[in-house]
Amino acid sequence: MNLPISLSIALRYWRAKSADRFGRLVTNLASLGIVLGVMALIIVLSVMNGLEGYQKQQVLSSIPHAIVSQAQPISIKKPLENRPHFVQKAVPINTTKVIYQTAKGVSAGQVIGIQAFSDDPLLESLDQVSFDSLLPAGEFKLVIGNQLAEKLGVNVGDKIRLMITENSQYTPFGRVPMQRLFTVSDIYFDYSEASGYQAFANLSDIGRLMRIQPEQAQGYRLFLTDPFLITELPAYFPQQQITDWREQKGEFFQAVRMEKNMMGLLISLIIVVAISNIVTSLSLMVVDKQGEIAILQTQGLTKSKVRSIFIYQGLLVGLVGTLIGALLGVLITLNLTSIIAAINPNGVFLPTTLEGGQICFVIAFSLLLSLLSTIYPAYRAAKTEPAEALRYE
């Protein structure tokens, strides 16, 4: 295959053992730095992606991703209209903030009205139990978390007074919160913080306390395939009020995202420093090959082709280092658990998630910097005058 003359010369220079050992050392250091930088950036971004996904699964699985409601209660006899494709499940909900009071303790929390145990991930362990036996309508029974039960010092069968601060009633002594005694019918076990404040009751029971008709509800509780798609919900529900998980956990995930961006920026500086060595190595090569450049120009090689030689030369160094670094980064990421287990037998768990778009961006970023680093040395090489370069040869 006939290659362009500039690329052929660049390949020959790249494969040849340069007489300038220092220039060759700088070139090798540039390639090694690019390998390490690209590899480290892919590994760090994959680990941060994995941690973000793990936290998203652990933290957001126990809370509603979004609640769609409006000023007036909505009918639950018909399904939710304009339901987007990324909504995995939509269930009616009545919920309010409450104060739990028992003889042994007081705690603030949230009570959620449901129609079935499948309405909430925290109650998946109760799917084998009849819903009507634990939360029958009209009997004001409650299923609470193990952490909340421990705070209040209650067991199954004990009474808990619920005071609803959002809904009050007038009495001769003034306005007092709506309150009702509930019976603990079961306790669910979960390690998340939600089990320390969330309790569940029958949808109609909570509706009665909030003066909502049995066939109506405050809104719909949405569980999405990806919780981060909540930003698209306003386009589907322009008239409804949307409350999402960001009110509770938004700051936490903003901190995780900022940490990932800062880690990516710091690791990117390794690539920038490594690629700056390409400028040094090409500048040394221009000085070393000045006589050869002059001879090539006397034989008809144009200045644009001289520039192309050194652009190709820098790109070859960047391309080889980037591809090797990307390959090593992907291989190490795929086997990171085994590598950590071999180094640290105590079993440190680091979830990883490789994203093709990020890998392509890292490769493109490295190659772009490699290209930009060749501009100045290539420009200097093209300014070589044959008469001046060959005067003392």
Q: Is 153 helix (H, G, I), strand (E, B) or coil?
A: coil
Longest dimension (CA), the chain: 112
State residue 328's pLDDT score.
Answer: 93
Query: What does the alpha-carbon distance between residue 168 and residue 178 come to, in Å, rounded to a whole number?
Result: 5
Tell me the three state secondary structure of residue 129.
coil
pLDDT in tens, the chain (393 residues): 566 777 777 777 666 655 456 667 777 788 888 888 889 889 988 888 888 888 777 777 767 788 888 778 888 777 777 788 888 888 888 888 888 988 888 888 888 888 888 888 888 777 777 888 888 888 889 999 888 988 898 898 889 988 887 766 655 555 666 788 899 998 888 877 778 888 999 988 888 888 888 888 888 888 888 888 888 888 888 878 888 878 777 777 788 788 888 888 888 888 888 877 788 777 777 777 777 777 776 776 777 777 787 788 888 888 888 999 999 999 998 888 888 777 776 666 778 888 888 899 999 988 888 888 888 887 877 776 665 555 555
SS3 83: coil
Q: How far apart are CA 256 and CA 260, in angstroms?
A: 6
Q: How far apart are CA 304 and CA 4, in angstroms?
A: 13
Q: Can you give the pLDDT at residue 170?
A: 56
Considering only CA atoms, give the Rg of the chain.
33
CB 100 within 8 A of CB 107: yes
Contact 207, 112 (CB under 8 A): no
CB-based burial of residue 345 (10 Å sphere; 0-12 exposed, 13-18 middle, 19+ buried)? Answer: exposed
Tokens 């295959």 found at: 1
The helices-and-strands tally (H runs, E runs) of the chain is 13, 9
Cβ atoms of 264 and 41 closer than 8 Å = yes
Concatenating the DSSP letter of every residue in 339-352 gives HHHHH-TTT-----
Cβ atoms 123, 117 nearer than 8 A: yes
Asked if 219 and 129 touch (Cβ cutoff 8 Å), the reply is no
> Which residue spans within 77-188 are E strands per DSSP?
87-101, 106-114, 141-145, 159-171, 174-188
DSSP codes, 34-70: HHHHHHHHHHHHHHHHHHHHHHHHHHHTTS-SEEEEE
Residue 199's H or E segment, with its range, is strand 198-202
